[in-house]
Amino acid sequence: EAQVTQNPRYLITVTGKKLTVTCSQNMNHEYMSWYRQDPGLGLRQIYYSMNVEVTDKGDVPEGYKVSRKEKRNFPLILESPSPNQTSLYFCASSLSPPGGVTEAFFGQGTRLTVV
Amino acid sequence: GQSLEQPSEVTAVEGAIVQINCTYQTSGFYGLSWYQQHDGGAPTFLSYNALDGLEETGRFSSFLSRSDSYGYLLLQELQMKDSASYFCAVRDNNDMRFGAGTRLTVKP
């Protein structure tokens, strides 16, 4: 089954404790991205990757890191989480940059709470 | 830069027709997409318009007017399961920008 898998689905952590949210896709997609979703703000892109070892900043990259060592995986790293990073996070993948005819496939989301 | 505007909430009754509008500002244009998101779920792709006019997919249709930088999603024969948030989106170079979303509530 074609899917994008994120882990964990829920996470409560403390300020400053490094964490990683994993994302894996099985569709051989070249493009992957991370979004955060906050009430009234919709989905905002954090980082995206055009292919292995190629990443770039989205709209809200501060406080986040990513890596793309393999085509299928695109982890999101919070080196020192802060309460303002409490949010719902989505990973997405697509054959090419999404929008237009290219459909983005989303993972089920990770609800992160930083206390 | 890019911006998308859509109403925050819409309410309609089962069986009715509802239209969700989206206006956008872009530096380049690759088309307007629509995504649906149920509470607690992931966004899923609904439709896409690159050219002016109406695209129909079952009960859902999407319209685009590039000269007006405007589009809408039309939902017909509303069902309770259509209660969800709907997002318009455009591509901005190599990333995608979403509107803030329209929460549709369908009442019996």
Closest-CA residue to B83 (of B20, B11, B22, B7): B11
Q: Is the peptide bond before A39 cis (omega within 30 degrees of 0)?
A: no
* pLDDT tens-digit readout, B49-97: 989 999 998 999 999 999 999 999 999 999 999 999 999 999 877 788 8
Residue of A nearest to B30 (CA): A100
- A25 to chain B, any CB pair closer than 8 A? The answer is no
Rounded Cα gap, residues A25 and A74, in angstroms: 9
Give SS3 for A22: strand
Angle B80-B61-A59 (CA atoms, 0-180°, nearest 5)?
A: 90
Percent of chain B with pLDDT over 90: 80
Q: What is the pLDDT of residue B30?
A: 84
pLDDT score recorded for residue B1: 58
Q: Does B57 touch chain A (CB under 8 A)?
A: no
Q: What is the pLDDT of residues A24-70, one digit of tens each?
A: 999 999 999 999 999 888 899 999 999 999 999 999 999 999 999 99
Contacts of B48 in chain A (CB under 8 A): 100-101, 103
Query: A58 vs B31: CB contact, 8 Å cut-off?
Result: no
Q: What is the mean pLDDT of residues B38-42?
A: 94
Contact B47, A100 (CB under 8 A): no
> What percent of chain B shows pLDDT beyond 70?
98
CB B26 within 8 A of CB B3: no
Task: Find residues 40-59 of chain A whose CB sits inside 8 Å of chain B.
Answer: 40-45, 48, 50, 56, 58-59
Maximum Cα–Cα distance across chain A? 41
pLDDT at position A12 is: 97
